[in-house]
């Protein structure tokens, strides 16, 4: 960007009046506007534009620590385990329990897992015979083909993709 700072160095303090200062400020604004318009022309011509650099922030690091805005404090981390629905509970006794030991309660360990189970559906397609001997049969719902449901197909294809991965997750 064209700067007017060399122009300021040549003007002495006694020659600078409020009018001169206002004119210099107006020139500075016009130079900024010219640069914006040049960037827009280059954008429309699909030419590369000047990169705009963000301030480095070094000046912020040299300021006293009290001048930085304080971050809003967050509350304590919310526990999610009390809201979990427990589907099964197992009590595990120690293997070698000495004689006379007394129970002092339990230490809870919650393990989260996913269970996939078979869900078979029998579609009973009604059949009717017309007077001329032809059969009319009910149709399967959309997306049902080859005796495999959509969830099974998704699991099957996902397992194939994971098995081909060079970095297995487990």
Residues 6+ apart with CB under 8 A from 34: 2
Q: Which tens digits make up the pLDDT trace of 115-165?
A: 788 888 888 989 989 989 898 898 888 877 777 777 788 888 888 888 887
Position 83 in a domain: no
Position 20 in a domain: yes
Q: Are 1 and 30 in contact (CB under 8 A)?
A: no
Q: Which tens digits make up the pLDDT trace of 69-98?
A: 667 788 787 777 677 788 888 888 888 888
Q: Which tens digits make up the pLDDT trace of 100-114?
A: 888 888 888 888 877
Q: Are 59 and 50 in contact (CB under 8 A)?
A: no
Q: Residues 107, 113, 118, CA angle at the centre, nearest 5°?
A: 135
What total number of domains does the chain contain? 1
pLDDT for 68: 58
List the domain range (segments joined by +) for residue 25: 5-52
Alpha carbons 1 and 99: distance in angstroms, whole number: 88
Position 12 in a domain: yes
Bridge partners of residue 135, in order along the sequence: 129
Position 164 in a domain: no
Q: Against a cut of 0.75, is the pTM above it?
A: no
What tokens appear for 167 in the block?
A: 């970095």
Rg (CA), the chain: 38
């Amino acid at each position: 960007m064209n700067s007017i700072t060399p122009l300021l160095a040549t003007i002495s303090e006694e020659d600078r009046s409020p009018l001169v200062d206002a004119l210099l400020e107006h020139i500075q604004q016009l130079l900024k506007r010219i640069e914006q318009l040049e960037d827009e022309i280059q954008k429309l011509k699909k030419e590369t534009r000047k990169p705009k650099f963000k301030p480095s922030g070094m000046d912020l690091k040299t300021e006293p620590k009290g001048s930085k805005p304080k971050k809003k404090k967050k509350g304590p981390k919310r526990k999610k385990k009390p809201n979990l629905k427990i589907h099964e509970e197992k009590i595990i006794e120690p293997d070698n329990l000495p004689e006379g030991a007394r129970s002092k309660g339990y230490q809870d360990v919650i393990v989260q897992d996913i269970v996939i189970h078979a869900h078979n559906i029998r579609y009973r397609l009604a059949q009717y015979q017309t007077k001329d001997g032809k059969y009319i049969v009910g149709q399967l719902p959309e997306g049902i083909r080859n005796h495999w449901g959509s969830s099974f197909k998704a699991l099957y294809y996902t397992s194939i993709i994971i098995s081909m991965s060079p970095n297995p997750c487990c």
